[in-house]
Amino acid sequence: MDRKVVAITGAGSGLGASLARKYSKKGYYVCLIGRTRSNLEKVAETLISDHAIYELDVTSKQDVDRVFQSILEEIGPIDLLVNNAGLGVFSLTEKIEETAVHNMIDVNLKGIIFCTQAVLPNMKERNEGIIANVISTAGLEGKVTESVYCASKFGVRGFTESLLVELTDTNIMVYAAYMGGMKTAFWDGIYTEEEIQHLMEPDDVADIIMDNIKERKNLAVTEVVIKNK
């Protein structure tokens, strides 16, 4: 079977939804992964290629393993994993509640680790595949009111860079996208509508990510930084 399979976490909105639509147009089998089925179903209605919906809370390793095993058995090997699920709670450090601390570390960092662990054995067995981690510029520099969010994203940066070294002698590609804010629901209640209008379009960021991880002879892009003007 020649069709490629892409699995996208956080596919129910924003960048994840943009990537899903664009990969669908390229003929990929799209596995939409997220916590809210209704959001995933709305995205699914916009796809033109074969696709499937998988409800998943990426913070549960048991559930992650179960869902990715289901994809392997029902659809086939995953050629491209896009670790895109994430959340942010922003406030002064001493005001960030314990629940928010756990949620950001669990979703932003542990979720990426668990999903990556789930696809690696099969990718190593086939000696091919791409793991693309959507990280944010918060993984590159500290920001006011984003201390825990940055901590989670710095963690993903360390995980990604280590994975890149670990897989040096394989044909598995590891890619990191560090981008600024986009016009998505992520910023609702954080930025004003006027401020959100000055953020990047998810479709533009999706185009850059897809172009970067396109296979090219003797060349691999391991990371890109995409900033707002």
- The reported pLDDT for the residue numbered 162 is 98
Measure the N-to-C terminal CA separation of the chain; round to a whole number of Å: 43
Active-site entry in 149, 175, 178, 191: 149
The whole-number average pLDDT for the span 195-215 is 85
- The reported pLDDT for the residue numbered 111 is 98
Summarize pLDDT for 58-80 with one digit per residue, the tens.
Answer: 999 999 999 999 999 999 999 99
The whole-number average pLDDT for the span 193-219 is 83
Summarize pLDDT for 142-174 with one digit per residue, the tens.
Answer: 999 999 999 999 999 999 999 999 999 999 999
- The reported pLDDT for the residue numbered 38 is 96
pLDDT, averaged across the chain: 92
Which residue ranges make up each domain of the chain? Answer: 5-226
Summarize pLDDT for 87-134 with one digit per residue, the tens.
Answer: 999 999 999 999 999 999 999 999 999 999 999 999 999 999 999 999
Which one has a higher pLDDT value, 27 or 202? 27
The whole-number average pLDDT for the span 8-29 is 96
**DSSP secondary-structure letter at 28?**
P
Backbone dihedral region for residue 50 (phi beyond 0: left; psi -120 to 50: alpha; all else: beta): beta
Structure tokens belonging to residue 33: 């992964």
**DSSP secondary-structure letter at 201?**
P
- The reported pLDDT for the residue numbered 199 is 77
Give bridge partners of residue 41 from the DSSP assignment: none
Sheet containing strand 172-179, edge to edge, reads 51-55, 29-34, 5-9, 80-83, 129-134, 172-179, 223-226
Does residue 40 carry a pLDDT above 90?
yes
149 in active site: yes
Q: How is 88-154 classified by DSSP, letter by letter?
A: ---S-GGGS-HHHHHHHIIIIIIHHHHHHHHHHHHHHHHT-EEEEEE--GGGTS--TT-HHHHHHHH
Fold of 5-226: Rossmann fold (3.40.50)
Q: Which residue has the tokens 């992964």?
A: 33
Determine the residue type at 142. Answer: G
The 3-state DSSP class for residue 214 equals: coil
